[in-house]
Amino acid sequence: MARPSIVPIALTVDDRTGFTLWAPPWEEDGEEWQAFLGTSEDDRARVHLFPTPAALAAFCRTRTDHDLADHPVWPVVVGLGAADLTPDDDHRYDLDGVYDIAAENPDRWAVEELAATIDIVTRLAECLDTGDDELTDPDDDPDVDDDIELERRSGGDATRGGEFGALAELVSRPEVGSLGLGVEAFLGRSGEDAWVGVGGALDDLWEDVLEELGAHLDWTGGGTVAIEDYPSAAEADDEDDEFDDEADDTEDAAPATRPAGGSTAASAAAAGVSTIARPGRIAAPPAEVAKAAEFWEAVGILPVEVVVPEGSGVTLRCYVDDRARFLGRDGEVFLFPSPADLTRFCRGDEAHDLTEIASWPEVADTDTPPLPADQDRYDLTELTEVLAEVAGGAAGLVDHRVLAQQIDGVRDVAEYAGLTRVDELLRPDAPLGQAVARGERQPDAPLRAEDAAVLRPAWDQVVTEVSGALVFRD
């Protein structure tokens, strides 16, 4: 599971766009949690929404009476400004626009946008539905506010109904469930019928879903703003464009005044608990990933995601005589923008270095989507940002274990592609190699600012070498 993080998001409902924060699922004390910026009162859980990122930032600086106050990353969020709390395009959800999306042709963008919108509503419902008795624990400390625990426990199941019966019915429709499979589920005659079914399900239920959700949306920002403070959604979009232009001008004039990355993801890295909010990352519910893993582990070839500054994609990897072998040829690793694109390639007849693997015919014939597990995701840009933050003064908040997973990924690519420079940079007597070795001995040893300042240029060289071995395929 990914490390704890907090991500700014925007929700457009009833021609208003509200900004808030989402803490994606993280594990704590053996339990999985997720939460939104909100609280519970009068036996109803609510998410606080704000008309601008600036209003959201002001709330975060001054208030702790909410469900994210004890999140591991909250001390970092408190110091962020409006620019850092402005959601990227991947975390803006237009709940008013689902009908327009469903009326489009089912291309990759339409399917992914609709799937993401329904997913975030489902996640909201999981945190907001306080009617699920299974979420309560009779052994909990009686001094703990149970309502707030209900906000945070990621054990709720919106698909069972509770306060969100219409949503439960919507996500139970097979056509809606197919959104998680990507655009491939909507190809051909049967796919066209399924896409029509998605539109029909939305026609039947989406207004009821919005009514259910609306009862839990606090447009007053915890009593700090008024409804009149919200521009229309169109006006808000124009203001965001102007803000982005001003931010670009500011970066050009004084690039050193903002943290690396200029986002919540980068700032949260100061606490060693960041997410990388970039386009192209593969997203799927944990249950789907676990189900797919049964097939991929059985054939001995696993889906892998790689993120580098040039982009991100998914590929396949196995081990032959304990040596990494990727889907590629002549030392080049093929990366595909989505599991559906990778599946189409696997069904083709282009030669590559996995065709001689005994289980390859099963891979070429499967309908199981290649969904990478968390341990097979290598976001090389994340470590770049972490090292930059530590070198910039966030020492003591990040430990050596942050190196382990990304180093494993680059070692595999370097082995397959013959990247001797990467081997040199990871030698036991090189600074990066020494840091990796210490991480294996003392994973919780903190990274010092002076350590990160030395490691960052070495890591940048590693990323450059690995990037040169990646070939982005359609």
pLDDT for 385 equals: 86
pLDDT at residue 398, rounded to an integer:
74
Environment class of 434 (CB within 10 Å of its CB; exposed 0-12, middle 13-18, buried 19+): middle
* Cβ neighbours, 10 Å, residue 425: 21
- Give the pLDDT score at 56: 94
Find the DSSP H helices in 229-375: 233-253, 264-268, 286-299, 339-346, 360-365
Q: What does the H/E/C string look like for 369-438?
A: CCCCCHHHEEEHHHHHHHHHHHHCCCCCCCEHHHHHHHHHHHHHHHHHHCCHHHHHHCCCCCHHHHHHHH
Q: How high is the pLDDT of residue 139?
A: 38
pLDDT of residue 338: 92
Question: What is this structure's pTM?
Answer: 0.52
Tell me the C-alpha distance between 35 and 38, whole Å. Answer: 8
Q: Quick check: 160 and 208 in contact, CB under 8 A?
A: no
Could you tell me the pLDDT band of residue 261, with boundaries at 50, 70 and 90? Answer: very low
Q: How far apart are CA 88 and CA 233, in angstroms?
A: 16
Structure tokens at 191: 């796919």
Number of H helices and E strands in the chain, helices first, is: 18, 14
- Residue 470's Cβ-side half-sphere holds a number of Cα atoms within 13 Å equal to 28
Q: Identify the residue with better confidence: 279 or 40.
A: 40
Is the per-residue pLDDT at 183 higher than 80? yes
pLDDT band for position 245 (cuts 50, 70, 90):
low
In this predicted model, what pLDDT tens digit does every residue of 299-333 receive, in sequence order? 999 999 999 998 899 999 999 988 999 999 999 99
- Nearest CA-CA partner of 68 in 107, 39, 103: 39
What mean pLDDT, rounded, does the chain reach?
Answer: 82
pLDDT for the residue numbered 237: 61
**Residues with Cβ < 8 Å from 391, sequence gap 6 or more?**
449, 452, 453, 456
Euclidean distance between CA atoms 178 and 184, whole angstroms:
9
